[in-house]
Chain A
């Protein structure tokens, strides 16, 4: 475990460094705030001959994912990066990339969706494409973003998975925040990810195949079932690769990251950078003798329902923190899935939802304390009055 460098990087810089070390065959990308920086940095690597990548400067995110799909089907290792409107402009192609079983890696920076237009963090963009068939990994900080991006290559390209994967950071909070990051050496990354060998590349002109054919009622269902199976296979592969990464480099990864959950009665569930704030809040409450805990979810797709049910097995009340509002009229997407994961289990504590931080609205320890105070009342037997609370908004 030779760590060559521990230096200050923004999330975008850490993502760009990971991309440089992964050295993909093709990158097709279109700039968008706050993901632009990593694309710019990567352009420098290309211009300076530090990577072997063919960089396709497309005219839109839709074309970015189209070119990525073509390049991946051709047999190349392919990456891109985007955010917000860019991600949802890609949405059609995200589904197709997964359906064509293209293991493309996407560095996604979570940002609010228009309208009103807003460039700051929330998870609306990533959640909007949660059913596209992509692996989705959330990062709490720049270090995780870097580690996740490298692992994503192995996960996506695993022969029993062959699905695209997006690794997300929170816009500005992580993408532009400077942190100490431990980089691996170029050699370590190279040996961890290995060479990509496509099984049936388009460029094998001696063995022509047709990619993207038309299925009618007689085959579509079977092909979609195969994708569902690949997602199920990823459930096994993701923790295996997280463990292997840990054994080699000292940082272990799984689906979820429990914090002080062993005896926790009041549990907060969160994704991304808010986990850090939640951990500080838990520490504060613990000094006051309150049994608070945090369940950070790292992988949103495939959704680790069993792991979550197990981790929340002793909780007396649960608050789900949703940094996006699915506008379902009954809570955010994380809430719906966490609550569903608990249904039918041994422990079914009251679960409430907090929609917070939309459009980059700051969230701090005091806000999260308020959530735990609500949970304490529920744990004491008070009935759930309001299932969904908008936290930190002027009403």
Chain B
């Protein structure tokens, strides 16, 4: 369990002054993850919102060493940094008493899609690194194109709500489960709304010997279309309606880390976001029902994996 007072007393590892949109959740992810780290860290980041808004030359928000090289390779790039660390340390070219941790950040584009191969390879090779996906459910940096993390029905600029096709046709890819299937020591799903849960997960992830992965839900006020002051609340409601459950997989053991007292309606959550507004026009009731049924089914599956029951 993290202590908010202690966290607040730490030097700010991710500086303000970056150029993220008002209400953006991505810097919240970066700040919380870096605050959680107890050792010095070297960070990498895929091309995307977090990278372009935080490292505009000659400025940087990163008070840790930071490297960005391209879009699809944050995992491979940081795996190279980690390999250099192991090599130089083994050869006595670095102080042996200093333990450095390695963290790669990527959006859902750089993680679920174009960077998926690089991520899978790095996890399989067993590098001592944490990969954090800040999942905002579309390619926000290039103006809201659909990704494989985009939920069914969402309007994006490449899955527009048109006269014939009502937004994205497919359900989202369950990346956290796919990463857990790599049999890495630690995989988890978290949200910016549950800071203690997130910070604790980062600390657990950095403590394991080997690769770890955390998928953090990060509402995008621009792409999801809601008022900027509601970012954290929208994230909280995603958790409470079980669209984005919080759980962890530790050495293959699935565990729910937060169970909503009352499971809310996913449709109520969707109503607050402009990306779903077309689904509330008459004629789309079946799609809404299908989305709710899917959330229910996935939630039941997860409860079973975690050895929980629905009512408790």
Instruction: Using CB atoms and an 8 Å cutoff, list the residues of chain A in contact with chain B.
Output: 25-26, 28, 52-54, 56-60, 62-63, 66-76, 78, 92-93, 96, 100, 202-205, 208-216, 219
Contact = CB atoms under 8 A, between A and B. Distances in A.
Given A56-B83, A74-B81, A63 B118 contact: yes
B81 A203 contact: yes
Interface string B145-165: 000000000000000000000
Interface in B67-96: 67-70, 72-73, 76-81, 83-88, 90-91, 93-94
B117 A56 contact: no
B172 interface: no
Interface residues of B, number: 47
B284 interface: no
A266 to B, nearest CB: 47
B3 to A, nearest CB: 24
A70 B65 contact: no
A213 B70 CA distance: 11
Given A59-B117, A70-B76, A53 B87 contact: yes
A52 B86 CA distance: 11
B118 A66 contact: yes
Given A28-B80, A203-B100, A76 B66 contact: no
A74 B42 contact: yes
Contacts, number: 163
Nearest to A207: B65
B68 A212 contact: yes
Nearest to B41: A205
Contact of A73 (B81, B91, B94, B100): B81
B78 A70 contact: yes
A59 to B, nearest CB: 3
A210 B77 contact: no
Most buried by B among A57, A62, A67: A67
B203 to A, nearest CB: 18
A73 B68 CA distance: 10
Contact of B70 (A92, A204, A214): A92
Interface in B90-115: 90-91, 93-94, 98, 100
B65 A62 contact: no
A211 B67 contact: yes
A205 B98 contact: yes
Given A26-B87, A76-B84, A211-B65, 18 more contacts: A25-B84, A25-B87, A26-B84, A28-B83, A52-B87, A56-B125, A58-B79, A58-B121, A63-B79, A70-B79, A70-B80, A70-B84, A73-B81, A74-B88, A76-B88, A202-B42, A202-B65, A203-B100
B76 A210 contact: no
Most buried by A among B87, B93, B98, B124: B87
A25 to B, nearest CB: 4
Contacts of A67: 76-77, 79-80, 83
23 contacts: A25-B91, A52-B87, A54-B87, A56-B125, A63-B76, A63-B122, A66-B69, A66-B70, A70-B69, A70-B79, A71-B83, A73-B67, A75-B84, A75-B88, A96-B69, A96-B70, A205-B40, A205-B65, A208-B66, A211-B65, A211-B66, A211-B68, A212-B67
Contacts of A73: 67, 81
B51 A214 contact: yes
Interface string B9-41: 000000000000000000000000000000011
